[in-house]
Amino acid sequence: MQDLDELTVTDVALAQMAGTENPRLKQIADGAVRHLHAFAREVNLTPEEWLTGIQFMTAVGQACTPLRQEFILLSDVLGLSAVVNALHDKKARELGSQSSLLGPFFREGAPDLPNGAQIVEHPTAEEIVVYGQVSDNDGTPLPGAVIQVWQTSERGLYDLQERHGESMDMRGIFRTDADGRYHFRTVRPLGYSIPMDGPVGELVKLQNRHGMRPSHIHCLISADGHRELVTALYFGDDPNIDSDTVFGVSRSLVVEATIDPASPVPGLRAVHYDFRLAAEAPGESGRVGADPTRLMKAAE
């Protein structure tokens, strides 16, 4: 028997887990134990603080519903989602357009719409058009590429918030034409605050952060033989473009809506953006995020 202290307990814990048969599980669990123990030692964690952390994580779990994923939100505001996303991109055989976060409001089952359709059921603000082309990294157009888009309303709320998940709005699935081109109509989404009524929001308040995300349109793009692209287009004139609470903005994804003679819908301000998809590596997959409903079903 060995008397354990704050240093020796780490090696003993790792030794107990040494028989883990799955090598990847062993690598992840060992790393988590080493870093968690080192964290506790670094900050000299007290029993009261440890219990507060346990209570916080419990509250995060209790806040999760089929319409709300508080753990993904926590990962986002801590920058962990951005780190995982960057690591995922780093492993790619080649890079296409810059990726961004899927976010906690993605939903599967959005309606299939023809090119040019309006994704907002009852727009009450100026319409804009988003258009461009999807190609591979060599510039070859990709006909039949699937583009899923979703965004907040002009009031800064997703349909999960405005409609409580009862129906879909501000979402659509489009397919590129024979020349790899796409276009759809929408309204300028309003930048918004992350949900501040839960444990993650309370944490953000305690850190004196504004909790805001700049105006953006999410895009999830796929084509046979190519790496799925999770990204978003961010409006550069939003006041929070340089301080996104979830660290999702990249320079290459910043856009503006302008009068554009090349727009497929004359008379509307337009956002023009061409997406490039990288070639897919064998066995490659992984979105940093998921539909909250699916995560709840997986936990049952």
One domain for residues 36 and 86: no
Residue type for 258, please? T
Tokens of 210: 């504004």
What is the structure's pLDDT at 211? 96
One domain for residues 148 and 227: yes
Would the pLDDT of 298 be above 60? no
- Is 3 among the domain residues? no
One domain for residues 12 and 130: no
What is the structure's pLDDT at 165? 78
Which of 63, 84, 109 is where one domain is finished?
63
Low-confidence winner among 2-16, 160-174, 274-288 (lowest mean pLDDT): 274-288
One domain for residues 21 and 133: no
What is the structure's pLDDT at 284? 60
Q: Are 277 and 223 in contact (CB under 8 A)?
A: yes
Helix (H) or strand (E) holding 53: helix 47-63
Query: If pLDDT is split at 50, 70 and 90, which confidence band does 299 have?
Result: low
Q: Is 254 left (phi over 0), alpha (psi -120 to 50) or beta?
A: beta
What is the structure's pLDDT at 152? 95
What is the structure's pLDDT at 115? 97
pLDDT 10s digits, 61-114: 999 988 889 999 999 999 999 998 888 887 776 778 889 988 888 999 999 999
Domain count, the chain: 2
Pairing mode of beta strands 127-136, 275-277: parallel
Q: Are 232 and 213 in contact (CB under 8 A)?
A: no
Query: If pLDDT is split at 50, 70 and 90, which confidence band does 297 have?
Result: low
* Separation CA 218–CA 151 (nearest Å): 6
- Is 2 among the domain residues? no
Q: Are 234 and 253 in contact (CB under 8 A)?
A: yes
Domain harbouring 276, CATH code: 2.60.130.10
**Residue 53, domain extent:** 8-63
Q: Is 264 exposed, middle or buried (0-12, 13-18, 19+ CB in 10 A)?
A: middle
- Is 1 among the domain residues? no
Which of 63, 81, 106 is where one domain is finished?
63
What's the predicted TM-score (pTM) here? Answer: 0.89
Cα 116 to chain center, whole Å? 25
- Is 93 among the domain residues? yes
Give whole-number Cα distances, 274 to 31, 34, 142, 235, in Å. 40, 44, 11, 16
pLDDT 10s digits, 15-72: 999 999 999 999 999 999 999 999 999 999 999 999 999 999 999 999 998 888 999 9
Query: If pLDDT is split at 50, 70 and 90, which confidence band does 10 have?
Result: very high
What is the structure's pLDDT at 286? 54
**133 - beta bridge partners?**
181
What is the structure's pLDDT at 296? 55
Please work out, in degrees rounded to the nearest 5, the angle formed at the alpha carbon of residue 229 by the alpha carbons of 227 and 232: 170
What is the structure's pLDDT at 162? 85
pLDDT 10s digits, 103-152: 888 999 999 999 999 999 999 999 999 999 999 999 999 999 999 999 99
What is the structure's pLDDT at 217? 98
One domain for residues 110 and 235: yes
One domain for residues 53 and 82: no
Helix (H/G/I), strand (E/B), else coil: 127: strand
Q: Are 171 and 150 in contact (CB under 8 A)?
A: yes
Cα radius of gyration (the chain): 22
Would the pLDDT of 289 be above 80? no
**235 - beta bridge partners?**
255
One domain for residues 123 and 25: no
Could you tell me which residue, 89 or 10, shows the higher pLDDT? 10
In sequence order, the 6+-apart residues with CB closer than 8 A to the CB of 124 are: 154, 187
One domain for residues 54 and 76: no
Which of 63, 80, 104 is where one domain is finished?
63
One domain for residues 40 and 165: no
One domain for residues 78 and 47: no
* Separation CA 244–CA 253 (nearest Å): 13
Helix (H/G/I), strand (E/B), else coil: 183: strand
One domain for residues 242 and 128: yes
One domain for residues 86 and 51: no
Tokens of 140: 């070859």
pLDDT 10s digits, 240-282: 999 999 999 999 999 999 999 999 999 999 999 999 998 887 6
Q: Select from 215, 227, 240, 246 the least CA-distant residue to 100.
A: 246
